[in-house]
A and B are shown apart, each in its own frame.
Chain A
Amino acid sequence: MVVFALTIILAFVALQTAPSAPVSPPMAQSRQIGSAREVTLVLPRALRKDETAWLLVKVGVIGHNQIQLMTQDGRPLGTISQFGIRSGKSAGTYTVPVPAEALSNGRLALRLSVIQSGRASRAPTAKEVKSLRLLIRQFKGGSYLRQ
């Protein structure tokens, strides 16, 4: 695997810094919109051939609630649903592939919401979604995910 750019640790509610360099200045814009939280993440540059953007979502204690990820124009990116987690434990970090089509002008306009069993969805708290990281990765033989 080739790492062309390790980019952006972006704050979610509370800004965080990256555990590893290089780190771009925080460029996230986060706001609560109704029952969701919207965050815009910025890639340091456009994706190159054979590269894929990945979103790392660090999740806190959510029990059997689920974190729904989509773009702000409604494109699904995945739903985090923990399994095998003991009661009261954090759910871990989830690696979410981001379709190139979900990016616009080098930005990922992300909408996060908590799906609660039997109740209306709501915006996640800072304890539920602890951080978001947007990475660029290139893998040998991975051309099938990029045109």
Chain B
Amino acid sequence: MSKTLESTRRHFLKISLATAGAAALPQGFALAQAPARYRRYNVTSPNGQKALASYAKGVQAMLNLPADHAQNWFRNAFIHLMDCPHGNWWFYVWHRGYLGYFEQTIRNLSGDPSFAMPYWDWTQLPQIPDSMFNGVLTPTDSAYTRFTKDIGTFTSFIQPSLKRYWAGLNSAQRAQLNARGYTSFDAMWNDVTGYTTTPPPPHVDPTNMAFAQTPIARYLTRQNPKLSPQVTYNVSPFMVYAGLLPTDFYDPINQISFNSSMTTSHNTPPSGSNVFATLEGFPHNSTHNYIGGVGPIPNGPWGNMTNNLSPVDPIFFLHHSNMDRLWDVWTRKQQALKLPYLPNAAQRPTYDKEPFLFYVNSDGRQVGPSIAREFISTARFQYDYEPGFGEAVVTQPSRALRMKHATATVKGLMKGNAATMTLSASQVNTHLAGGAPALIALVTLPRPTDASPKRDFDVLVGAPAEVTNVDANSPYYAGTIAFFGGMRHMPGMSGDATFIVPLPQRKEAFPNLLAAGAATKGVAVTIRVVPSGGGASVLKAATVRAM
């Protein structure tokens, strides 16, 4: 019996160490609703990594489809270029529909019937998840070269089929494209090439070029994966909590709404009169741009994520999965507070009836006329989210109050594959008491090779040096990191991987807490990562944050 319990606990911790927020938060937050059929996991969790393996298969399958196929990888990105709303109140709902159909496509093409799009919680992990540099999960991979080697190659591949597609558009679709400024195919294509006639003479403006050559398709690299300090602030706990704070879906008078401006059409290009709501204006925008190199690279051309052809970079869908998750968090917060979570009665007809005419379903067919109302609920695509950062606004606002004072990251000093860092005694005491902010560790370890028999690793906190094998009931046990083998087919499958692990809420894990001077000098904590079943630590780096 005890073995069963131990195994169960290990399994529980294995799947729940995904995010600090998830593990630190009380359960039972979900409001009454039909159970979701699919769960979108944090990409850093074992389940998220498993989903990522299926995602890679799906991306490869979409790359393999001919340009005339509506589910071809690049054709799918053109749906976004031709139809995406930004800076207006259809931003969330349109992307929910786009993501939902895309998720179904990946489910079909990957052969994984349980696939759901994982999310990248940049508040918890302000760097591109390591796995997103593997194979086709980065647009700089050689698999893209035959399409995006240069603009001529890309034009030859995609333009003929796009022109045929354009010629078949109906009048309603054309009207929406006109509203967008795409009054002809060439007008749209100019945003791909950067060609412009203003100011004369006609020239190519590299800052307005949606196409990105393979080598520069993503600025951030495995060796340089971190968001800049400025972008890290834009995705910080304070900014995200503030973005979840407004209680109006949209209020044109008070201006601080959850959504950006109401406009005449979701295709109305943003202009000076648009008010960007906090989450769209800051985390969304700056993450997009920095991944593509806006900021560090002068004058363009930049990577895919900087423009409306951004779905060419597979990170797009993890980024928007997180944005969609935050909309879901906000909705449940409103419900918990018994506040409206939709436009008011006067606004509702306008919002609901907005036509979305460009989606493609999992069979590769045009969805046909659909309207915004169809995509308001996550039930439309039968999914929910593994809890991530921000969940506290739904469950315990007072807890979130304290959590906003998340401390700076404490980096571990590495010695012999063990990391030691000094935490404040008050933080440790708060953590042990089950309060917030809770302490989490970001641990980096080398990904096992294909031939390695060891694929599960236990995270030990505060364990004496001679302890190299623990069970799930050990006070030093923080969780198990499991690597799945499903991504072995991908080239470049190597390097390190970073995971988020909540620290144990056991005093034994912090043996220095009672040492003399701990209150003033801090509490030294040591973290190791050992193969499950015993062995030497393989840890390469670790940091601890309070969230």
Contact = CB atoms under 8 A, between A and B. Distances in A.
Contact of B299 (A87, A118, A143): A118
Interface stretch (B58-66, B101-109, B246-254, B493-501): B246-254
A84 B397 CA distance: 33
Contacts of A135: 255-256
B207 A145 contact: no
A84 B284 CA distance: 11
B234 interface: yes
B230 A68 contact: yes
Interface stretch (A32-40, A89-97, A104-112): A89-97
Size range of the chain B interface in the assembly:
35 or more
A89 B246 contact: no
Contact of B242 (A52, A87, A116, A141): A52
B271 A84 contact: no
Contact of B401 (A56, A83, A143): A143
A144 B404 contact: yes
B282 A1 contact: no
Contact of B270 (A84, A137, A140): A84
Q: Which of A60, A91, A144 has the most CB of B within 10 A?
A: A144
Given A60-B272, A95-B281, A117-B299, A144 B392 contact: yes
Interface residues of A, number: 50
B295 A66 contact: yes
A147 B403 CA distance: 11
A139 B299 contact: no
Contacts of B393: 141, 144
B278 interface: yes
Contacts of B254: 1, 3, 137
A117 B233 contact: no
Interface stretch (B286-294, B450-458, B462-470): B286-294
A114 to B, nearest CB: 12
B234 A94 contact: no
B35 interface: no
**Residue of A81, A93, A143 with most partner-chain B CB within 10 A:** A81
Which among B230, B298, B337 has the greatest number of chain A C-beta atoms within 10 A? B230
Contact of A66 (B238, B294, B336): B294
A26 to B, nearest CB: 20
A130 B300 CA distance: 26
Interface in A67-110: 68, 76, 78-97, 99
A97 B245 contact: yes
Given A84-B308, A119-B298, A58 B272 contact: yes
A120 to B, nearest CB: 11
A54 B256 CA distance: 8
B256 A90 contact: no
B482 to A, nearest CB: 34
Given A93-B276, A117-B298, A145 B242 contact: yes
A86 B254 CA distance: 27
A64 interface: yes
B269 A89 contact: yes
14 contacts: A58-B272, A80-B282, A82-B285, A83-B306, A92-B274, A94-B276, A95-B275, A135-B256, A137-B256, A142-B245, A144-B397, A145-B238, A145-B241, A145-B242
Given A64-B289, A84-B308, A117-B299, 20 more contacts: A52-B242, A81-B285, A83-B284, A86-B270, A91-B270, A92-B87, A92-B271, A92-B272, A92-B281, A93-B272, A94-B276, A95-B255, A95-B256, A95-B276, A96-B282, A97-B245, A97-B278, A117-B297, A118-B297, A142-B247
